[in-house]
Structure 1
């Protein structure tokens, strides 16, 4: 249901903001369309079925992509050299080819003539098989949703990540039984800086659990079991960000994850990943998410942990408008744009709750069909657990009053330590109480025309337009370098991963991009739901 318009926003002003965002985004889109990265190329190999790692844990996808890069470069893509070697060599599979390449026993080339045509056809078949597998997992989700039912919004979003996937599973199932609709398995600290995806089930992680294909498979299976037990679908979230964004997105599609944190700005600002590298990676990863029916979560809430939530409110709106444009260009539907924002205004500021309502209602009305993800207070959780619990209740109330779609639970000990299970239970009780007690309050909450809330919302939108005009003049990469978002400066020629970027040459070929660019990501592509096995 489309939310009511309550702020009396001028449609012409909103339209201008979107047009400016499209102009500001266009140079970045063009850069992503004319460049590739090592992770985009490795994602193709993984999509084609290459899995596994050597005895030291280095993935075969890395071995193979690095061998091609060292011998012929990345500017033409890995597809032609790799499938030329497969078609014309003695290796029976991508794994065998990667093992030989790791030992220095393969000579790669850019094929021509009939050899090029044969390599193209073989690569296309392999990419098509991988994309068809993703289509089948999407159809499987549709079937399970039809079988067990979809919970009503707002969905309660809860983080479970002990570092040990076999500890995460029972905790995630217990959280679902206590009311969680979305379980997020956040990654081990620093995984976003690894230029490879770890392999297999993992039992050691710091402040999170490693994102691996096997961990995805195990958790999805466990949540399917508890979904059938509860009679409602429990969604699984992980993170597709960092130096392996395209690969993790691909693995998520293959293992039927439902949501993914997918916002290169988080990696740029908070992990110092090169802006060019991660914008290029972001486009491919979002194309995969669009095809897989995965809802992305963007990271604007993080800006407010470093910048002031009042002074920088317009930077959140600007980033959301840019993310909307980037998402649409990559094929994401509005229903997949889980744009992020947060309840992070200092509670000591007079009228802080009214300001929060203004910001949240503005986001809700600018993006009426997006499943917005609303983040709880963290910056001003002082260690006073009673004040913290009250602040979380105000956050939950704001979320219900403004019709947010996904509410991440706030925990009273957030600012003290990793919350205990008992703290999680209290947090779930808090959000359940507010949601149940105030369920229809969004229908009754209508800010006074011309009042404080409406005026503040229009002020933030006006400031957003001013900033977008500056970005159109100076460029988004320069705005990021100047510290516009999250008050952290990240120049375009610095940061981790820049050496993994290559400008596409004439004749660049990546069959996965070819397919994703050409086809509607939301068409069935010949995979009826009823044909998907249970």
Structure 2
């Protein structure tokens, strides 16, 4: 967005200061991530090398192999050197066989040195590099399909959730949603999957409040939406979740199966799933490097803060998190067009001037991140079960999206937080979106808030509070801010939470070919 199109006349010096403070607060976290690895980063590397499948109990071979390596030589050297050294010594002819033998206790792993180390390094880079080239091919394939079928005719893209628990039921529902106007289909994950320290295998037919994220489920849904893209004459995008304890692995699988967007927030797992902060920051950096390579748009989770904290009082924490997410994303190689930074329409409707305040917050996000698509989230916290009131609220939400030029508009359901929406609920919700966008999609051209009116003043106030908070975080440290409950009122100490035992500080001879290749691209 050029300055001539700006609506709020934000002080550019103030904006630069906010970004400078975000960099200052974020740099120690990046250094922390660079100094550590996790079990999921190493398993993602094995998956990029082609290791797939699971044993008879459903435990992935990637887990089995890494567990055996870790038991013998620890995690701090990485998996690549001991694994490819074992292959070079003739312990097995391929990764699956090596994993099978390792799980049976018939292989001993070593950390090679000298010539053996150089040989293992070269071999692992070739094999992992082949997997990353496959990610590159899938990205090029997306570009070809968008060119062949065409893209959504306008933004915001309409983003709709489909997840029954059964992938074979999800597919026809997703295809029908695309026919009714959805541009992005999100298959949300089964409740609790983020706390699993393994990725389930194969197509799944049961799940609670969502469908398991697996490579086969990714493949099936992507193929189905490719059929829909051909039928409809526009490319239909697919979203899933790269979060939780297996964030890097799911990112790798998404790249291999050509997903288009992934939920990937730097702090969501810490705050709302009590996953260890160090584990999360290490995993998210690697996952974002994969997303950057794959051309995947990330969606961040700032909207969740407003489900636990007051949307007016905590508005600046959303902007603070957006700026931090932007810094972490760009440091990992993501470009502006890949930053679906999140925010939400969550102010209590009983608050005076609530609609104008929502406009101020949404417009502030739009102007701080003019080249980012932004993901605008519908009301959830104050949906009461009164479907008529809820439908009106969703209409107001859609109107704010149109007036402020949001890039990704999640379809709000009038039965939100009451029941799992029926297909008829989805139809009505899509009608609501289409009516508002058809009737007022160009309203942004005419909407100019008064320079000293409530909207502009509120936006400047939130930006000022953001700078004050970033200044404090930069001085005291982001990990301490998270421990103090700064975001979403959740207190998460750096030495607590799930998954800490899966983190290791890198040794001097640590080697990871995936990280090396991805860092070179960055």
Secondary structure, aligned partner of 1:322: helix
Contact 2:167/2:211 (CA < 8 Å) preserved in 1? yes
What is the CA deviation profile of residues 238-293 of structure 1, one whole-angstrom value per residue up to 9, with x for unaligned ones? 00000000000000000000000001311111110000001000000000000000
Matches within 5 A, 1:33-432: 33-151=34-152, 152-432=154-434
Moved more, 454-463 or 68-77: 68-77
CA distance in 1, matches of 2:26, 2:34: 12
CA distance in 2, matches of 1:47, 1:333: 23
With the length of structure 2 as denominator, give the TM-score of the two structures.
Answer: 0.99
Deviation at 1:332, TM superposition (A): 0.1
Secondary structure, aligned partner of 2:267: helix
CA distance in 1, matches of 2:57, 2:46: 20
Counterpart selection for 1:459 from 457, 461, 471: 461
CA distance in 2, matches of 1:168, 1:33: 38
What is the CA deviation profile of residues 104-135 of structure 1, one whole-angstrom value per residue up to 9, with x for unaligned ones? 11110011121111111100101110100000
Secondary structure, aligned partner of 1:243: helix
What is the CA deviation profile of residues 371-408 of structure 1, one whole-angstrom value per residue up to 9, with x for unaligned ones? 10000000000111111000000000000000000000
Cα pair distance change 1:179/1:20, threshold 3 Å? same
- Match of residue 524 from structure 1: none
Secondary structure, aligned partner of 1:319: helix
Contact 1:2/1:369 (CA < 8 Å) preserved in 2? no
What is the CA deviation profile of residues 179-224 of structure 1, one whole-angstrom value per residue up to 9, with x for unaligned ones? 0000000000000000000000000100000000000000000000
1:25 is aligned to 2:34: no
CA distance in 2, matches of 1:488, 1:471: 16
Secondary structure, aligned partner of 2:514: helix
CA distance in 2, matches of 1:402, 1:296: 20
CA distance in 1, matches of 2:276, 2:164: 29
Deviation at 1:2, TM superposition (A): 5.9
Q: Which runs of 5+ in 1 are unaligned?
A: 521-534
Secondary structure, aligned partner of 2:343: strand
CA distance in 1, matches of 2:137, 2:118: 29
CA distance in 2, matches of 1:263, 1:418: 25
CA distance in 1, matches of 2:451, 2:475: 34
Contact 1:183/1:236 (CA < 8 Å) preserved in 2? yes
Q: How many residues align?
A: 520
1:9 is aligned to 2:10: yes
- Match of residue 497 from structure 2: 495
Runs of at least 4 residues off by over 4 Å: none
Contact 1:242/1:264 (CA < 8 Å) preserved in 2? no
RMSD: 0.8
CA distance in 2, matches of 1:89, 1:262: 39
